Structure 1
Amino acid sequence: MDRMQAFGKNFSASFTPFAQRTQQMIKEQLGQAEDKTQLPDEYIELEKRVDALKLVHQKLLQVTSQYSNEAYDYPPNIRESFNDLGRTINEKVQLLSQAGSPAEAQAALTAPPSAKPQPKTFNHAIARASLAGSQTLAQSTEGEDPLATALEKYALAEEQVGEARLAQDAQIQSRFLAGWNTTLNTNLMFAAKARKNVENARLMLDSIKASKKAGAHGDLDNLSEDARAEIEQAEDEFVGQTEEAVSVMKNVLDTPEPLRNLADLIAAQLEFHKKSYEILSELAPTVDALQVEQEASYRKIREGA
């Protein structure tokens, strides 16, 4: 019985303030509240800035979260088989170099996987298609085919670019997405909770003021000492919650973490593009030389004809 009575008292103690706040909120929404305690200008300005910061995080994360999806640039119209994804381009080139017949070359292209399936990225898909094209030409031509040779080298380069892209994505996930998600789901949530506490304290204060004013027939100067003490206690609570929320919001806005995370995002992208440039810059002269050589051979054939 004692436990039931204690539970009833605790429930009543927690429910009554909630009911008072709810009633006050409804009155304000209906325009029936005479007075509403105003928040400090500094507090209102901080709220606007926090809301803007939250929107920025939501918008950018909505886009950059794609870095967690390996196949974000994988062509949707591509149909690659399990065997197509079985081995790396480098492994296939090594197997092809050991092939002594068209049948062995085909077996090398469709060799069962040695580890996990190959990544589904645009660059890896280009690499696989280029190597397949290289072998199609090689098997249909006697001797060296310049285009087949160029496609094989291109396939190896594109695989390297694809691996660089995956390294970029891993960096972005750990150094940018993790940080911005923490800010959005932890720091900004703390700020939202602190602001909610301020709103609850304000509603409670205004509810008590309205109640005591009604009990004094609208004359706040004619309040009892107990009534004044209750209002002062509610005012102190409101001021305390407001100061706490100001501190929390300033901390969220002043932390350098989001900007540091953005710098890490840019650094990861820069490193990827730098590696891509280096890989393709090394490949381009080789392909150019093959192209020049083929053009010279083609001119000789035409002149001899």
Structure 2
Amino acid sequence: MDTFKGLQKSLTSLGGQITPFASRTLQYTKEQLGQSEDKTQLPPDYIDLEKRVDALKAVHQKMLAVTSQYSHEAYDYPPNIKETFQDLGRTVSEKVTLLSSATSPAEAQAALTAPPSAKPQPKTFPHAIARASLAGSQTLHQQHTGAGEDPLATALEKYALAMERVGEARLAQDAQIQSRFLAGWNTTLNTNLMFATRARRNVEKARLNLDAIKARVKGTTWKLGGGAGGGAQGGGAAAHDEHELSPEAQEEIEKAEDEFVTQTEEAVSVMKNVLDTPEPLRNLAELIAAQMEYHKKAHEILSELAPVIDGLQVEQEASYRKSRENASS
């Protein structure tokens, strides 16, 4: 037990000599081990702000984990598709233009496998549908031996051109979301909320420093076990009542208290600013606007196409009925 008492006195004496970081670390360790009797409490309003900031951070992390996919072009590209270098070499509209001037199956095939343009074509679902539709159209055209054009081949070519436009609209949506939503929410998460985290850490440092100073000047820097050692320590603490502190010790405590109050007020200001800023909601409105514009554009493109395909289908049905009637007569 004498050994424990000696160690206690050594730690108490050491408390006034160690660095602020070590002092805070020692105080933190005491609290974790249940060795701190007087932990300075934070105001309820401050704790409420911390909870709200934590909730806002969690929301940003969850939303960004999903919406960050808008930064990856191929987020909806089917994984089972195996497109070749030639498939991705030219846009559908470029291939249609080249095909329109082809006068033989060989020229048509050459148009489909023309040298690539400046960059590979986008790997999006609408673009993939467009390329598949055009390839199907040409397969039917090449095998068509009747008069006129194969109606399904014609429809597939028109559908291919429309879906390429839908794909371009999707890319435009993604670019808007990246610049108007993702950039803003990443800034809030990595800058504004980071400032709030830093301010809260400063509060915790100031609090630990204050409590470490209080413990040191009152002679309660550390306790080892219970029993006689604990009782002796408790008696020492009682003998060092706050009213009997030296002017120097009282000044040191007051200085630490002022720093704690200053850091708390600063953190409150920073957290309120993060919580009150309208930027996240404004960014969310931009996300919705970009999605709305894309779906509106896709609707317009397909609305233009649908009557054309319906017309081809009606013509084919009429031709089919006529051929059946002629065959039965």
C-alpha separation in 2, matches of 1:178 and 1:62: 13
1:150 corresponds, among 144, 148, 155, to: 155
C-alpha separation in 2, matches of 1:258 and 1:273: 23
Q: Which digits, 9 at most, give the CA deviation of each residue in 1:139-176, with x for residues without a partner?
A: 00023000000000000000000000000000000000
Alignment partner of 1:138 is 2:160:
no
Secondary structure of the structure 1 residue equivalent to 2:35: coil
Equivalent residue number for residue 317 of structure 2: 295
Q: Specify whether residues 105 and 57 from structure 1 end up closer, same or farther in structure 2 by C-alpha distance, changes over 3 A only.
A: same
Q: CA RMSD in A?
A: 1.3
| Residue type at the aligned position of 2:132 | A
| Residue type at the aligned position of 1:303 | E
Q: Which digits, 9 at most, give the CA deviation of each residue in 1:163-199, with x for residues without a partner?
A: 0000000000000000000000000000000000000
1:39-58 alignment runs, 5 A limit: 39-58=42-61
Equivalent residue number for residue 62 of structure 2: 59
Equivalent residue number for residue 88 of structure 2: 85
1:250-261 alignment runs, 5 A limit: 250-261=272-283
C-alpha separation in 2, matches of 1:183 and 1:235: 31
| Residue type at the aligned position of 1:161 | V
Alignment partner of 1:248 is 2:253:
no
C-alpha separation in 2, matches of 1:165 and 1:36: 56
Alignment partner of 1:195 is 2:200:
yes
Aligned length: 293
C-alpha separation in 2, matches of 1:204 and 1:157: 67
Post-superposition offset of 1:303 = 1.4
C-alpha separation in 1, matches of 2:113 and 2:242: 88
C-alpha separation in 1, matches of 2:44 and 2:317: 75
C-alpha separation in 1, matches of 2:269 and 2:117: 56
Equivalent residue number for residue 6 of structure 1: none
Q: Which has the larger radius of gyration?
A: 2
Equivalent residue number for residue 247 of structure 2: 225
| Residue type at the aligned position of 1:153 | K
1:124 corresponds, among 122, 127, 132, to: 127
| Residue type at the aligned position of 1:109 | L
Relative to the length of structure 2, the TM-score reads 0.87
C-alpha separation in 1, matches of 2:113 and 2:184: 42
Post-superposition offset of 1:14 = 11
Alignment partner of 1:208 is 2:230:
no
Post-superposition offset of 1:217 = 3.6
Secondary structure of the structure 2 residue equivalent to 1:191: helix
2:73 corresponds, among 70, 73, 78, to: 70
| Residue type at the aligned position of 1:198 | V
| Residue type at the aligned position of 1:144 | E
Structure 1, unpaired ranges of 5+: 1-12
Equivalent residue number for residue 287 of structure 2: 265
C-alpha separation in 2, matches of 1:84 and 1:14: 74
| Residue type at the aligned position of 2:298 | S
| Residue type at the aligned position of 1:68 | S
Equivalent residue number for residue 103 of structure 1: 106
Post-superposition offset of 1:214 = 1.3
Structure 2, unpaired ranges of 5+: 1-15, 221-235
Equivalent residue number for residue 187 of structure 2: 182
Equivalent residue number for residue 4 of structure 1: none
| Residue type at the aligned position of 2:267 | A
| Residue type at the aligned position of 1:193 | R
4+ aligned runs moved over 2 Å, structure 1: 215-218
Relative to the length of structure 1, the TM-score reads 0.94
